[in-house]
Amino acid sequence: MTQMLLLQQAINTLLSVPNPKINACKGAVWKLLRDMHRSGTQAASKVEKLIEYLDRLINTGKDLEILGFTIEHIIIPTNMMLRRIPTSDREAAERIIRGYLAEEGEAGLKDVILMWDRIGERWCMEAERVVIVAGFRLLRETLDDLLRVNKLTRMDADQTLTAFVQGFERRLVRGVRPGRAGRSLEDVTGVILEHFGIENFVDAPEHIKAVFEVDKLIILPDGWRIGVSCKRTLRERWKQAASLNEQRLGEAKIKKTLHVITYTSDLTVSKIRAIGESKGVVYVPDDDHLLKNHESDPEVLGYIRPMSAFISDLKAASMQSG
């Protein structure tokens, strides 16, 4: 934000002199932009593309003034507002989930994973709405002041407000929400384990997550580990979970991986078999058609299990040596 404020103030200063020379002003602004990032980095490359784009649009002092206005009244406030958006929905969902598990036990696993998403999503969306409405109102008041002195037209004001909302939403979609969704299911995994008295677990390091597709690691007495994940679906991740061999598992000291899945529309017998052959087990809702049709299938016997058996299976596996 400090850099954006410096940029906005620089534009105002450059335009404050009589008859400012637009090319000199643009050059000074572009230099400031470039100096904000180390040469050769990805950020610096993005800045060059931004400068190339803006250079074609800014041809007058008025154009540069609009850029300054955008930085002051849209970019800087948006950056500040994004810091107020919740990055985790754990607080909103945990109490309800623990209460539900206390009543339903292991039979409630499917429901709590779905509820965790819905409760958290609703709470976070409401928090987002409060922040964006406050920003919208502030910008509208600024634009109304300019309308009163005929500094812009109603169409200009409407387009600015629309662009503000679109830009804010785009940054939420690209940055905040995906990370929050991933952390959400990692959080519910921990809550489930804690509720059922499984305390010897840790968050999986990033390199373990990337290779083994697990969120948590259960530490066994002999030093081996069991990887655990709770997901809506496996999607393309099944390929990663199914490509593990004895050597890779042994190097990471991972005994097996357990995957709790709430939606099975993308699961097939061949995928389950491949995961099972890589020392993985898939847990699906007890009433799922895939489980009912294939639970006794010799091809996947032991590789697909009812979700209600997840905790007892995990506890049993934890008691066995590597």
Chain length of the chain: 322
Helix spans in 278-309 (H):
289-294
Residues of the chain above pLDDT 90, percent: 32
Among residues 83, 98, 123, the one where a domain terminates is 83
280-284 β-sheet, strand order: 201-203, 216-219, 225-231, 254-261, 280-284, 304-306
Tally the domains of the chain: 3
Q: Is residue 135 located within the same domain as residue 95?
A: yes
Q: Is residue 47 located within the same domain as residue 89?
A: no
Taking only the tens place, the pLDDT of each residue in 72-86 is 998 888 888 888 776
Residues of the chain above pLDDT 70, percent: 89
* 82-100 mean pLDDT: 74
Per-residue pLDDT band for 63 (boundaries 50, 70, 90) equals very high
Among residues 43, 66, 83, the one where a domain terminates is 83
pLDDT higher than threshold 90 for residue 108: no
Q: Is residue 216 located within the same domain as residue 272?
A: yes
Per-residue pLDDT band for 117 (boundaries 50, 70, 90) equals low
pLDDT higher than threshold 80 for residue 123: no
* 58-69 mean pLDDT: 92
Q: Is residue 93 located within the same domain as residue 114?
A: yes
Q: From CA 61, how far away is CA 72, in angstroms rounded?
A: 16
Of residues 239 and 65, which shows the higher confidence score? Answer: 65
Q: Is residue 73 located within the same domain as residue 22?
A: yes
Q: Is residue 154 located within the same domain as residue 243?
A: no
Q: Is residue 115 located within the same domain as residue 30?
A: no
Q: Is residue 118 located within the same domain as residue 154?
A: yes
Inter-residue contact 87 to 183 (CB < 8 Å): yes
Please, what is the Cα angle at 123 between 119 and 124, to 5 degrees?
115
Q: Is residue 49 located within the same domain as residue 155?
A: no
Q: Is residue 109 located within the same domain as residue 12?
A: no
Q: Is residue 206 located within the same domain as residue 180?
A: no
Per-residue pLDDT band for 92 (boundaries 50, 70, 90) equals low
At position 25, the amino acid (one-letter code) is C
Distances (CA, A) of 179 to 5, 78, 152, 176: 27, 18, 39, 6
Nearest to 249 by CA among 217, 203, 273: 217
Centre a 10 Å sphere on the Cβ of residue 14 and count the other Cβ atoms it contains.
Answer: 20
Global pTM reads 0.57
pLDDT higher than threshold 90 for residue 157: yes
Instruction: Give the domain extent around 11.
Output: 1-83
pLDDT higher than threshold 80 for residue 221: yes
Q: From CA 33, how far away is CA 138, in angstroms rounded?
A: 27
Among residues 172, 197, 222, the one where a domain terminates is 197
Q: Is residue 43 located within the same domain as residue 61?
A: yes
Which H or E run includes 228?
strand 225-231
The residues with which 225 forms a beta bridge, in sequence order, are: 219, 254
pLDDT higher than threshold 80 for residue 222: yes
Q: What is the CA radius of gyration of the chain?
A: 27
Please, what is the Cα angle at 312 between 306 and 315, to 5 degrees?
135
